[in-house]
Amino acid sequence: MQGKFITLEGIEGSGKSTGMKDIAAILKENSIDFITTKEPGGGPLGKALRPLLLNETSIITSDVELLLMMADRKDHLDNVVLPNLNKGTWVLSDRYLDSTYAYQGGGRQIDTEIIDQLSNILNFPKPHLTLLFDLPPEEAIKRAKRRSALDRFEKEPIDFHSKIRNSYIQLANKETNRFRIIDSSKDFEGVKSQIVFTITEFLNV
């Protein structure tokens, strides 16, 4: 039996990393074999691309950024995601294709038809479940600053992050069967309870 593919999406500082730990704990309790991974940088090529994409000193045009993200994703899928799914292991990924629609499509204003075409050519599968961690950009960036030094994306202006958030909401509204929106403005227990409910519901389908 093929494994399930669960992705976590959201703007910087929205709580994906903590959410990943909560989901992992639930899967462990249910004796489900899984791995955790991330984009960019989940595959062997991606490990080299991640510093280039996130370093604040990198000078990268929007088109090149899109192509590098797609190359990272293809490498990630071929070497990590699909081999594990095919052997029955569940895959939890911090970011996937929706990030490209939100960041490069929404934030960078690249025509989403171009993203569609590249995704179709590279044959990117849809996740079985996507948790969107939603948080106002102002609060998200405050949290990101407390966590660590800001990367190239995190240093973009608030308007950039607002466009990304809006793109995510649009994606979630288009695919209500796949997306579950997590209100990350709640306190720790409030966010965790939403995650527990979502994953428990998914396990019982």
- HSE at residue 78, side-chain half, CA atoms within 13 A, is 11
* 124 close to 82: Cβ distance less than 8 angstroms: no
Query: Residue ranges of the domains in the chain?
Result: 5-203
CA 108 to CA 61: how far, in whole Å? 10
Going by C-alpha positions, the residue among 149, 148, 144 that lies closest to residue 133 is 144
Helices 62-76 and 44-54: crossing angle, nearest 10°? 150
What are the strands of the beta sheet with 5-9, ordered from one edge? 34-38, 90-94, 5-9, 129-134, 179-183
Position 146 scores a pLDDT of 72
Distance CA 24, CA 32 (A): 9
Per-residue pLDDT of the chain (205 residues; tens, 9 = 90+): 899 999 999 998 889 999 999 999 999 999 999 999 999 999 988 888 888 777 766 678 999 999 999 999 999 999 999 999 999 999 999 999 999 999 999 999 999 999 999 999 999 999 999 999 999 998 877 877 777 666 677 777 889 999 999 999 999 999 999 999 999 999 999 999 999 999 999 999 7
DSSP state of 62: H
SS3 88: coil
CATH of range 5-203; options 3.40.50.720, 3.40.50.300, 3.40.50.150, 3.40.1360.10: 3.40.50.300
Token pair of 72 as six digits: 């990272």
Place of tokens 């797609």: 70
Given this model, what pLDDT does residue 47 score? 86
Spatial separation of the C-alpha atoms in residues 138 and 135, rounded to whole Å = 8
Residue type, 173: N
